[in-house]
Amino acid sequence: MVKLSVIVPFYNVRQYASDTLKSLRANAREDFEFILVDDCSRDETPDILARAERELPGAVYVRHERNGGLATARNTGIDTARGEYLTFLDGDDWLAPGYYPQLLAAIEDLGCDFLRTDHVQCTARARTIQRVPHGRRGEVMDPRQAILPADRTTSVDYPYAWAGVYHRRLVDRGLLHFTDGLRTAEDRPWIWRLHREAESFAVVSLLGVFYRRGVPGSLTQIGDVRQLDFIRAFDQVIEETAADPEADRLLPKAVRTYCAIIAHHLSEIDKFEPSVARQLRTMSAAAIRRLPQELLTDVLDTMDLNRSSRLRRLRRRVPAAKAAS
């Protein structure tokens, strides 16, 4: 029986894939499987993965014929996985030796639906420990209680799928799949759904994932149209949270987070291609108008001046159709 399935999407990461696979080998166990999903890479990544399928214990190699993005690649891995527990890793990150046996032992000991962990952020030679923004450790809790307060950084603001492990019953309940086709912010609707609908979770102070930032070619470094998928992702968060029985309590947090993300992208608008920058302004203005306006006013009144001013200007922006008339 497979105890743990590790889902690892790869896309054009030949310079990092060998390190990732080496770290998987240092975490191998006879009841672990490593699902290596190549999302139609155009470099030598498929050759590296084909060799890994022969050499890495428990490796299962799957190749997409078309590039579908990270969410779709992860879904392929989830559909392929046979493990009682599932976790994720990105194809340009790596692990500490023996991390996965410790991670599995922690969730089995606690018996919860999902477990969240800290991680190490790596930017060039710098290393920074990033903590799950939740103070209670090693204790099984109701995931809903970790969504709020609205004006603080909480567990839904720590969306990294690879910073944790998940019981198969979440797959069976339809909670673990990602929104197919999202190119960025794919983990935002996902983490909100887990915290709204799963029954139990815990946080442990376990370090073992090394997250590589600033990788050339990653979506966080490229200002093309794929970045704008964050709007579709957060529209989904708002829609699903508004339908929740506790919408009055949870929706202020969702709206505040959406506004903060829009303001962040607008503050970095110079990194986008000119045509994409125009789309960002137009789509963000439309997103602001779709939000519950009374709630939006409350959020803007309590945000810092720089962000609230930027968003108020966006709110006053005349829709293109009206301007044309």
CA quadruple 76, 215, 134, 163: dihedral sign: positive
Please give the C-alpha separations between residue 165 and each of 96, 110, 190, 255, 262, in angstroms, as whole numbers. Answer: 16, 12, 14, 28, 29
pLDDT digit string, tens, across residues 252-301? 999 999 999 999 999 999 999 999 999 999 999 999 999 999 999 999 99
pLDDT (0 to 100) of residue 157: 98
- 135 vs 260: CA distance, rounded Å: 23
Tokens matching residue 62: 């799957």
Report the b/e string of 31-55 with b at 16+ CB within 10 A: ebbbbbbbbebeeebbebbeebeee
Region of residue 99 (phi > 0: left; psi between -120 and 50: alpha; otherwise: beta): alpha
Instruction: Specify the length of the chain in residues.
Output: 325
pLDDT (0 to 100) of residue 224: 79
- The domains of the chain, with CATH numbers, are 4-213 (3.90.550.10), 225-319 (no CATH)
Q: Give CA 263 to chain center in angstroms.
A: 19
- Which strands sit side by side in the sheet containing 32-38, from one edge to the other? 59-63, 32-38, 4-10, 85-88, 164-167, 114-117, 201-204
pLDDT (0 to 100) of residue 152: 95
pTM: 0.93
Low-confidence ranges of the chain (pLDDT < 50): 221, 320-325
DSSP 241-260: HHTSTTHHHHHHHHHHHHHH
